[in-house]
Chain A
Amino acid sequence: EPEVTQTPSHQVTQMGQEVILRCVPISNHLYFYWYRQILGQKVEFLVSFYNNEISEKSEIFDDQFSVERPDGSNFTLKIRSTKLEDSAMYFCASSSRTAEQYFGPGTRLTVT
């Protein structure tokens, strides 16, 4: 069964550093998403991406965040200058022309 993969599984970084979280969506999917989940809290939508551009973004997705699909298979989330409050689990998801999203296993980001 096809699945969404994410790397790394755990990333530790110092405050102010840039991080790039990587995702490989399911190959025939058209829509891509990033979510985050702070420990013990709900899953929060960050951004959706379709046809090589951002479809929608939440208020969390400020200028420190960017997304890219550099090569037709990877989908990346960049945080330009990490803050302590960026520590969370980051989930990538993809979907075809249905509302059923397939989620990856997540990357745990720890900012120290």
Chain B
Amino acid sequence: LAKTTQPISMDSYEGQEVNITCSHNNIATNDYITWYQQFPSQGPRFIIQGYKTKVTNEVASLFIPADRKSSTLSLPRVSLSDTAVYYCLVGDFTGNQFYFGTGTSLTVIP
């Protein structure tokens, strides 16, 4: 089971690009990398998922190097409403367990 490591917290000014890196050294061949966002007292919300290289959607980009031992979530031009905890998860498509790490608490400062 691939364990993930992320920074505990980050601060950023509004309008800046934020990059959050996650380490997953023992990722398995079948594993995908998924990022979730969680606001207080709410369930985690899917942000983006990838297997390798780069994935982009309307809210974020995900960069995955060739060795897949890490990944970086990039949030362009953050706003105050992006203040949340961001979790990196690694798992496959068989519906098995996903372990949330401690996540990264992002605080966006005006």
Q: State whether A98 touches B49 (Cβ < 8 A).
A: yes
Contacts of B95 in A (CB 8 A): 30-31, 48, 50, 55, 95
Given A98-B49, A99-B92, A100-B46, answer yes or no on A106-B41 (Cβ-Cβ < 8 Å): yes
In the complex, what's the smallest C-beta–C-beta distance from A110 to chain B, in angstroms? 13
Q: State whether A101 touches B46 (Cβ < 8 A).
A: yes
Q: State whether A43 touches B100 (Cβ < 8 A).
A: yes
Q: State whether B96 touches A104 (Cβ < 8 A).
A: no
Contacts of B91 in A (CB 8 A): 99
Docked Cα-Cα span, A35 to B45, in Å, equals: 14
Interface flags, A91-107, vs B, CB<8A=1, else 0: 10101011111111110
Q: When the two chains form the complex, which single residue of B32, B43, B87 contacts A105, counting CB atoms closer than 8 Å?
A: B43
A interface list, Cβ under 8 A from B: 4, 30-31, 33, 35, 42-45, 48, 50, 55-56, 58, 89, 91, 93, 95, 97-106, 108
Contacts of A99 in B (CB 8 A): 32, 34, 49, 89, 91-93, 98
Which partner residue on chain B sits nearest A47 by CB separation? B97
Which partner residue on chain B sits nearest A49 by CB separation? B95
Q: State whether A105 touches B42 (Cβ < 8 A).
A: yes
Asked if B74 CB lies within 8 Å of chain A CBs, one says: no
Which partner residue on chain A sits nearest B99 by CB separation? A45
Docked Cα-Cα span, A103 to B37, in Å, equals: 11
Asked if B5 CB lies within 8 Å of chain A CBs, one says: no
Q: State whether B92 touches A45 (Cβ < 8 A).
A: no
Asked if B76 CB lies within 8 Å of chain A CBs, one says: no
Which residues 62-90 in B have Cβ within 8 Å of A in the complex? 87, 89
In the complex, what's the smallest C-beta–C-beta distance from B16 to chain A, in angstroms? 26
Contacts of A97 in B (CB 8 A): 93
Docked Cα-Cα span, A71 to B42, in Å, equals: 27
